[in-house]
């Protein structure tokens, strides 16, 4: 498999501090030729942009505030998020959304922060990279208010149920799948995947998290990395009874069109 695109990796995570360049080189050697670095707050978004500038046409980035970090949100920080988003290497707004699972930020602040990101994406006409955990009803309610104006939107790292999936598909959203599809403890995802139209599917590692459990030789430190995206492709192909090459080609073309890269 060649020319895979990892639409979401946290390469600025401290677990890559000692070997970040080697991680990138391993990804390229494994066929993952483009990686999108996920911005989760202002500082991280800025660092992701700077890293992307060092690897043109290989690394790209997003600019946004993760719902866990929504407590940091204010109008001044959003202006800085916007300033970063104007850079050509920044190809999406996010990671943003709602997380009522851990509630690391107050829910009302999460909602306010989410709406500000949606409005920014509409203003800049840049795609949205979204996060949702245990907040489907409010998430859909907010998205629906902006639906007619929204640019292309992906719900990344989907692990929800069939009703949630069908609603996102009905709304025209794209779905990002991670190594969670390889987890026997989330076997229900293997049944849900057939409800995702192939032209709405993209793949990601969410590295260093979501290590694919279908790997034969898992790293001892359980650290995921973009090179392991191939295992996500393998599992999707197996679930859909399609070739790995077809899944690789389709998800890559989807990502190229979605992010205009």
**Quick check: 209 pLDDT over 90?**
yes
pLDDT band at 26 (very low <50, low <70, confident <90, very high): very high
**Given a cut of 80, is residue 14 above it in pLDDT?**
yes
**pLDDT of amino acid 2:** 83
Q: What does the domain layout of the chain look like in residue ranges?
A: 4-259
Q: What is the predicted pLDDT for the residue at 1?
A: 76
- Taking only the tens place, the pLDDT of each residue in 107-151 is 999 999 999 999 999 999 999 999 999 999 999 999 999 999 999
Architecture of domain 4-259: Alpha-Beta Barrel (3.20)
pLDDT of residue 102: 93
- The percent of residues in the chain predicted with pLDDT above 70, rounded, is 100
pLDDT tens profile 70-82: 999 999 999 999 9
Provide the whole-model pTM: 0.97
Q: What is the mean pLDDT of the chain?
A: 97
Please tell me the distance from the alpha carbon of residue 130 to that of residue 79, in angstroms, as a whole number. 19
Residue 3: which region, alpha, beta or left (left: phi > 0; alpha: psi -120 to 50)? left
């Amino acid at each position: 498999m060649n020319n895979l695109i990892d639409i979401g990796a946290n390469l600025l995570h401290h677990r890559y501090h000692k070997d970040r360049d080697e991680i990138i080189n391993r990804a390229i050697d494994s066929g993952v030729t483009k990686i999108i670095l996920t911005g989760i707050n202002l500082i991280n978004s800025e660092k992701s942009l700077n890293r992307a500038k060092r690897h043109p046409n290989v690394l790209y980035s997003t600019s946004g505030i993760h719902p866990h970090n929504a407590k940091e949100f204010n109008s001044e920080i959003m202006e800085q998020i916007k300033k970063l988003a104007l850079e050509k290497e920044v190809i999406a707004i996010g990671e943003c959304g709602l997380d009522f699972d851990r509630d690391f930020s107050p829910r009302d602040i999460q909602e306010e922060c989410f709406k500000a990101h949606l409005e920014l994406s509409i203003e800049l006409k840049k795609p949205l990279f979204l996060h949702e955990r245990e907040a489907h009803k409010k998430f859909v309610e907010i998205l629906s208010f902006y639906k007619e104006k929204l640019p292309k939107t992906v719900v990344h790292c989907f692990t929800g149920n069939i009703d949630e999936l069908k609603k996102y598909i009905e709304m025209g959203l794209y779905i990002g799948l991670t190594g969670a599809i390889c987890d026997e403890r989330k076997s229900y995802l293997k049944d849900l995947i057939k409800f995702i139209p192939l032209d709405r599917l993209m793949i990601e590692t969410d590295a260093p998290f979501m290590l694919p459990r279908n790997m034969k030789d898992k790293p001892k430190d359980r650290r995921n990395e973009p090179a392991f995206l191939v295992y996500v492709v393998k599992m999707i192909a197996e679930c859909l009874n399609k070739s790995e090459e077809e899944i690789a080609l389709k998800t890559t073309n989807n990502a190229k069109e979605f992010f205009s890269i």
